[in-house]
Amino acid sequence: MSKWPESAVAVALIVLIAAVSVSGISRYTVEDFLKIWAALTGLLGIITGAIVTYFFTRTSLDNAERKLMDAERKLEFERERSRALPPAAGYQQNERKSPGPQPEDPIKEWVGGGQQRRLT
């Protein structure tokens, strides 16, 4: 992906701030320009902070997206590989062996065959 449009926007904003500064200095007195500049500092801080944050976090975001795509590819590869493998031999042997009839409730079997006792 090309980075030049993002860089062009950042450079254009810096040029705009410089143009406002130069035109303000040439047109107004120092005291009047400082008043204008004080009014614009909040906006200037937001713009420069957004530019810096975008460019510093963009690399991290690209790396995270790349890692996510790699993990998804590996997951899909492992899914396809597991579908292609035959069932494990131990699994087939356990499936074939039948342990015999199981009691309905092992606790009843242990206590006394499910007979109820009355207390008198």
Better-scored residue on pLDDT, 31 or 116: 31
Greatest Cα pair distance, the chain, in angstroms, is 111
What pLDDT shows up at residue 106? 57
pLDDT at 47 over 90: no
Angle (CA) 24 25 31, round 5°: 95
Per-residue confidence at 97, pLDDT binned at 50, 70, 90?
low
Per-residue confidence at 65, pLDDT binned at 50, 70, 90?
very high
